[in-house]
């Protein structure tokens, strides 16, 4: 078994492995990974994807890639086919991650590395991160079956909900930045710390298929009726033909505890149910107890616990 630079390979070398990954994401997370896989393969052919491949007898059976975002490296994926060639999956994952982490740490100008391994159970691939001094944050993957409805009459009198539009980018970025100030999630994702970072986050969610396909019909903003100022938002993507995923929900600190979070979730749930979706998923940091408790009270169940890792050099 060898670990080689991913850029030695083409999409046809990687396609069988990604077909397997698509099956794993469907089984574990009810997530159709096809459009993400196609994007990865396009980047492969453009020789644009930095990362490493695990190769045995000329065949790629594992890979991990990363992207550079100014002074940050983000580990995009890690996948190793189980039971291939008698190799130990954990050992191959450890070697791939060690190569990726070392490459990023030695890249000039890179001061921060982030990774979220959604398809790995917490602790499963943590060893190379811990060894390199990353901090680790447990995150929950939660799912609400859409047989459950949310009763939300609590909405404050001066606030109304309306559908997301393209005019909401800038004000939503402002709400995100304010909502995540001194919040555990801005330790995990530094984009939340600035307006420009929050705009980049929104742009990725709305315009790129990395986290499903943005679903504007099921995405809402909460606005003040008189000033029209945005005070909260929920963004939803479609991750399978019948499954929505909340990619963002936040409410300004001074408007919390009034039922707005619940009302935003209710609007998304109602819209998806009308369109015959069968489930709504989301991810949340375990330490974010107000959010975790809210989701649990509304009927979301924790299906998996996974890790987010952060390194600052």
Q: How far is the CB of 72 from ligand COA (least distance, A)?
A: 20
| Interaction of residue 181 with ligand COA, rule CB under 6 A | no
Q: Please identify which residue in 94, 112, 256, 304 interacts with ligand COA, judged by CB under 6 A.
A: 256
What's the closest the beta carbon of residue 184 comes to ligand COA, in angstroms? 8
Decide whether 126 or 186 has the Cβ nearer to ligand COA. 186
Determine which residue in the list 39, 118, 156, 258 makes contact with ligand COA, applying CB under 6 A.
Answer: 258
Interaction of residue 44 with ligand COA, rule CB under 6 A: no
Residue nearest to ligand COA (CB): 261
Minimum CB separation from ligand COA for residue 282, in Å?
6
Q: Which residues have C-beta within 8 Å of that of residue 172, sequence separation ≥ 6?
A: 164, 198, 202, 221, 230, 233, 235
Please tell me whether residue 156 binds ligand COA under the rule CB under 6 A.
no
Is the C-alpha dihedral spanning 216, 222, 224, 225 positive or negative? Answer: positive
Task: Please spell the DSSP secondary structure of 287-312, one letter per residue.
Answer: T-HHHHHHHHHHT-EEEEEEEEEEEE
Closest CA to 302 of 176, 155, 114, 141: 141
Per-residue binding string, ligand COA, 272-301, x by CB under 6 A, is ------------x---x-xx--x--x----
Rounded distance between C-alpha atoms, residue 92 and residue 88, angstroms: 6
CA distances in angstroms from 35 to 28, 208, 279, listed in the order given = 17, 10, 19
What are the phi and psi torsion angles at 193 (to 5°)? -80, -20
Chain positions contacting ligand COA, by CB under 6 A: 179-180, 183, 249-251, 256-262, 284, 288, 290-291, 294, 297
């Amino acid at each position: 078994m060898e670990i080689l630079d991913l850029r030695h390979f083409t999409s046809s070398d990687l396609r069988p492995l990604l077909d397997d990954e698509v099956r794993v994401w469907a089984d574990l997370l009810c997530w159709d990974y096809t459009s993400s896989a196609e994007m990865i393969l396009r980047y492969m052919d453009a020789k644009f994807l930095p990362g490493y491949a695990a190769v045995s007898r000329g065949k790629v059976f594992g890979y991990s890639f990363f992207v550079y975002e100014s002074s940050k490296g983000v580990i995009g994926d890690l996948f190793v086919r189980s039971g291939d060639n008698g190799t130990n999956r954990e050992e191959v994952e450890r070697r791939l991650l060690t190569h990726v982490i070392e490459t990023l740490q030695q890249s000039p100008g890179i001061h921060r590395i982030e990774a979220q391994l959604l398809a790995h159970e917490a602790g499963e691939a943590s060893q190379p991160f811990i060894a390199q001094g990353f901090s680790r944050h447990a995150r929950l993957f939660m799912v609400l079956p859409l047989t459950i409805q949310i009763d939300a009459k609590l909405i404050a009198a001066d606030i109304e909900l309306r559908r997301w539009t393209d005019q909401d980018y800038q004000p939503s970025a402002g709400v995100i930045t304010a909502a995540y100030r001194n919040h555990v999630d801005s330790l995990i994702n530094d984009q939340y710390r600035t307006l420009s970072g929050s705009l980049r986050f929104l742009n990725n969610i709305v315009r790129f298929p990395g986290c499903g396909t943005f679903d504007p019909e099921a995405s809402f903003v909460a606005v003040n009726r008189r000033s029209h100022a945005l005070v909260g938002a929920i963004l939803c993507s479609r991750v399978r033909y019948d499954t929505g995923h909340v990619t963002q929900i936040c409410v300004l600190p001074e408007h919390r505890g009034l039922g707005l979070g619940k009302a935003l979730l209710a609007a998304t749930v109602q819209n998806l149910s009308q369109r015959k979706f069968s489930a709504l998923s989301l991810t949340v940091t375990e330490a974010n107890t107000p959010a975790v408790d809210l989701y649990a009270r509304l009927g979301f169940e924790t299906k998996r616990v996974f890790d987010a890792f952060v390194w600052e050099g």
